[in-house]
């Protein structure tokens, strides 16, 4: 029953109540007249008492009816106010449809926050459920539906029902580029699910701009990626992320297709600007040479992330250089297959853009290190595992990074030796190795001895640092309980704009 029907029912109830009240008053008047007639006729006293008691009961019931009537009147007034409010135009709805649609778009999570965080129903469904106007407008705004998270459901029936919802969301996305995140943590016990999913996505392949495959089976990853390669027309794919795929019984690509056939659909690879591979044993799919060929077709690549990537083949022989004119970010975090990965890094030839580089370690071979850094304009450098054997490689890297602005080093040992690399001795004295360096972050599990502290002071005194952050996880001592640390912090605060110690910003007014 809607609001109007409820109001009509209350109005009828109120009218019936008014009629009943009038009839009750008439009955009361008639009863009073009857009592007066009985008294005047001096009828039996017992009969008179009965009539009087009956009249009293009627009077009490009339009082209760008055109470109920008052409650009905209050409810009726509330209903009238509700009807009047619903008839009044909500202020936000006075905005033009184009403006209100933009409000909806900006209220949605950003792409990086939306993908990977499964929400059922779709976030835009919440907006569509507010009122008919918002539903009509949200459905007519394709970008609200362009980010879709696909997750494995409990059973095949629920999975297929969920796929129907996904198909509705994809249809509502209309012509907007699609961003798909597939999260599948369970073993591939039902091949039908993967077949249904591939069939669901195939019609939308030309419009998928972002494809993230997280903990999906290798078979599913292979089928979806091949759907892009098998597509006859152009595609808009520019972000591909394959992270921690599960092991499955698949036929490696190099046994199933002719060598280097992956470079034939160049239209698929030329538009890709973000490639992220994590927890992948690439030998299940292709060998090192094939991977180099694939990268050589990614002329628009801006970001390359290789996380826990494993190559069991050796990178022997000669390979072509990988020219990437728009390259901006390189992340290599893998503690296995290090030499193979550095052979890949050494082939990269970035363009003139400023480059952000994050490495799990610096290659111990200075020649391999220099092969990359001398062709890159690195402004941000982060090394997770700086060991003594990598100091020569770090020296080469810094010599080829004159525009370096931010440096983060995580060190297990030889802190002083690492700090010594940051400066160099010339005939006129000590000079900086990276003149543009403004932010230095040092992370270690060891305490700094007196010689290391002196070297840190030398670095801080030579550079014009805006921010110095040193985090000693192995030491709980701070400037509040250690005089030597307090003296060091005071000295640093006089020369560096911001000083952080163990994730705490030091106040120069105190030390």
User: What's the structural domain count of the chain?
Assistant: 2
Alpha helices in 129-185 (DSSP H): 132-139, 156-172
Burial class (CB in 10 A: 0-12, 13-18, 19+), 257: middle
Last residue of a domain, one of 41, 73, 88: 88
Could you give the CA distance from residue 424 to residue 317 in angstroms, rounded to a whole number? 37
Tell me the C-alpha to C-alpha distance, in Å, between residue 482 and each of 117, 258, 479, 487, 488. 45, 67, 5, 9, 10
> 209 near 241, Cβ under 8 Å?
no
Residue 12 lies in domain: 3-88
> 238 near 211, Cβ under 8 Å?
no
Could you give the CA distance from residue 214 to residue 224 in angstroms, rounded to a whole number? 13
Residue 168 tokens read as 């509705």
Most confident range, picked from 70-74, 250-254, 465-469: 465-469
pLDDT top residue among 111 and 278: 278
What's the number of CA atoms in the CB half-sphere (13 Å) around residue 445?
A: 6
**CB neighbourhood size of 221 (10 A):** 23
Residue 78 lies in a domain: yes
Strand intervals (E) in 281-326: 303-307, 322-324
Could you give the CA distance from residue 165 to residue 154 in angstroms, rounded to a whole number? 16
Residue 105 lies in a domain: no
Residue 218 lies in a domain: no
Q: Give the pLDDT of residue 476.
A: 54
In the chain, the percentage of residues whose pLDDT exceeds 70 is 71
Q: Give the pLDDT of residue 248.
A: 42
Whether the pLDDT of residue 450 is over 70: the answer is: yes
- Please state whether the predicted TM-score (pTM) of the whole model is above 0.75: no
Q: With bands split at pLDDT 50, 70 and 90, how would you rate the model's confidence at 102? A: confident
Residue 154 lies in a domain: no
Last residue of a domain, one of 39, 55, 88: 88
Task: Tell the residue number behind the tokens 């009943």, with chain if given.
Answer: 20
DSSP for 212-250 reads: EEES-BHHHHHHHHHHHHH-SS-----EEEEESPBP---
User: Kind of pairing, strands 423-426 and 429-432?
Assistant: antiparallel
Q: What is the pLDDT of residues 335-379, one digit of tens each?
A: 666 777 888 888 899 989 999 999 888 766 666 677 888 889 999
Q: With bands split at pLDDT 50, 70 and 90, how would you rate the model's confidence at 255? A: very low
CATH number for position 389 = 3.80.10
Residue 345 lies in a domain: no
Residue 249 lies in a domain: no
Which residue, among 397, 462, 453, 451, has the nearest Cα to 429 in the 3D structure?
A: 462
Residue 372 lies in a domain: yes
Residue 336 lies in a domain: no
Last residue of a domain, one of 53, 88, 123: 88
């Amino acid at each position: 029953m809607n609001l109007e029907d409820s109001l009509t029912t209350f109005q009828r109830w109120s009218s019936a109540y008014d009629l009943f009240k009038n009839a009750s008053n008439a009955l009361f008047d008639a009863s009073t007249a009857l009592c007066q007639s009985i008294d005047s006729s001096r009828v039996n006293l017992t009969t008179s008492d009965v009539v009087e008691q009956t009249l009293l009961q009627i009077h009490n019931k009339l009082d209760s009816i008055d109470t109920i009537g008052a409650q009905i009147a209050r409810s009726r007034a509330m209903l009238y106010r509700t009807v009047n409010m619903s008839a009044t135009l909500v202020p936000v709805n006075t905005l033009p449809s184009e403006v209100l649609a933009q409000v909806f778009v900006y209220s949605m999570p950003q792409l990086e926050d939306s993908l990977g965080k499964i929400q059922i129903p779709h976030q835009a469904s919440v907006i569509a459920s507010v009122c008919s106007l918002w539903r009509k407008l949200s459905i007519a705004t394709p970008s609200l539906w362009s980010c879709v998270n696909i997750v494995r459901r409990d059973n095949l029936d629920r999975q297929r029902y969920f796929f129907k919802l996904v198909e509705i969301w994809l249809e509502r996305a209309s012509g907007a580029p699609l961003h798909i995140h597939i999260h599948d943590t369970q073993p591939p016990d039902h091949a039908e699910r993967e077949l249904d999913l591939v069939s669901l996505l195939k019609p939308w392949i030309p419009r998928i701009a972002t494809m993230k495959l997280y903990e999906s089976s290798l078979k599913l990853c292979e089928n979806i990626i091949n759907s892009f390669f098998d597509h006859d027309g152009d595609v808009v794919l520019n972000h591909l992320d394959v992270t921690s795929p599960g092991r499955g019984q698949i036929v490696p690509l190099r046994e199933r297709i002719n060598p280097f056939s992956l470079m034939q659909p160049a239209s698929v690879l030329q538009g890709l600007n973000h490639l992220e591979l994590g927890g992948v044993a690439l030998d299940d799919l292709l060998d090192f040479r094939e991977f180099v060929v694939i990268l050589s077709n990614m002329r628009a690549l801006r970001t390359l992330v290789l996380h826990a990537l494993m190559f069991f083949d050796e990178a022997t022989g000669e390979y072509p250089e990988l020219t990437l004119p728009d390259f901006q970010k390189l992340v290599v975090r893998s503690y296995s297959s290090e030499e193979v990965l550095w052979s890949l890094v050494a082939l990269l030839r970035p363009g003139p853009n400023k480059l952000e580089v994050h490495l799990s370690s610096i290659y111990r071979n200075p020649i391999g290190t220099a092969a990359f850094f001398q062709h890159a304009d690195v402004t941000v450098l982060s090394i997770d595992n700086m060991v003594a054997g990598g100091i020569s490689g770090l020296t080469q890297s810094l010599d080829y990074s004159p525009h370096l602005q931010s440096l983060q080093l995580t060190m297990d040992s030889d802190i002083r030796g690492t700090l010594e690399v940051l400066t160099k001795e010339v005939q006129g004295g000590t000079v900086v190795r990276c003149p543009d360096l403004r932010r230095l972050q040092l992370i270690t599990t060891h305490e700094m001895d007196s010689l290391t502290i002196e070297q840190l002071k030398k670095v801080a005194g030579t550079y014009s640092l805006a921010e110095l952050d040193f985090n000693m996880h192995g030491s709980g001592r701070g400037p509040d309980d250690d005089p030597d640390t307090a003296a060091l912090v005071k000295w640093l605060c006089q020369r560096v704009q911001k000083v952080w110690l163990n994730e705490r910003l030091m106040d120069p007014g105190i030390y």
